[in-house]
Structure 1
Amino acid sequence: MRSLPLTFCAAAAVAAIALPAPVALAAHTAPAGNDDRGSVSVTPSTIAPGGEVELRTDVCGKGRSAKGNSDAFVSEVHFAPADGKGIFAEARIRSDAEPRSYDVWVTCKDGKGKATGSLTVMHHSRPSPVAPVRAGGGGTATLADQAAQSDGPGTRHAVTGLVLAAVAAVAVAFRSVRRRRPATD
């Protein structure tokens, strides 16, 4: 008695899973038309002036080319086929770009597709060491730690060094004298 509702539930679950898959695949592989609009993936989406970004889009389809532009770019970029699907380009950000959001436009070379995206230019302060590295380097930091410069070897270290040198000298002298003495049997 309970097998009939269980069968209908199982059939409904299979239909819900299996039917949308071909529709999704068909919609994703449709050729680009005149009105096709897509998006541009910009990596990284936040960049400092003078940096480089990677641009990817699939609005033009695989194997086609496009050109892209933005007020933040040094020059127009040309897209080429990417591994997998879509097209790919690299763009350099102007060194004098103001910190704000910029639009990115991509137009397929055959005129059958356009894509838009955005990127944000931010002035990043470059991290700089404020003290010498404790692993050597000879104090190459620009703003050396004042405490490290003032705490150098003092009188205590000098006395310790002199005592160790005296002990070493006495040990060497003692061994020299001992070797020169003839052995008595």
Structure 2
Amino acid sequence: MASLRVTLCAIAALGAVAATPAAYAADGGVSVSPASPRPGGDVVLRMSGCPQKTATPASAAFVADARLTPAADGTLVGESRVRSTLTAGTYDVKVACGAASRTGAVTVVRQGAQPSAPASPVAPVPAGGGGTAHAAVVDARAAGPGTAHTVTGLVLAGVAATAVALRSARRRRDPR
């Protein structure tokens, strides 16, 4: 399952790299895409010319060290996230490939205000309805089942019990 996940991530990374401009290091082996990410943004890292099956890029700009794995075209591909607390500037990216090391750079830019929303939804998305989705979730959590729900449940349970009793009595009377 893990190899399938890596394969799908590599395919997605290849599509992202093809669609966005990349910044290449002076040695031509390390690229970062997009070339100028914002703080908190995701980046795709690519490295060519590494004889190893994996490589590890590290940078003060990244939240954590990434791991590059083989892609279909022979390059190594991986993802990382830019720290959300970074100021605009250029940060070194060092990639360890076996005993060799290559360096690149990522230029972090601040374009307008940093988004305050998380990368993925953590609650219902307010998609129309004037924000009623949020109000409905809050109301449902606060209200819970009340007296009307309890009475309805008891009535339904009584009807079900009566139906079972009548069916059992009918089966006892009808000899087959």
TM range (shorter): 0.3 to 0.5
Structure whose alpha-carbon radius of gyration is higher: 1
Normalised to the residue count of structure 2, the TM-score between the two structures is 0.47
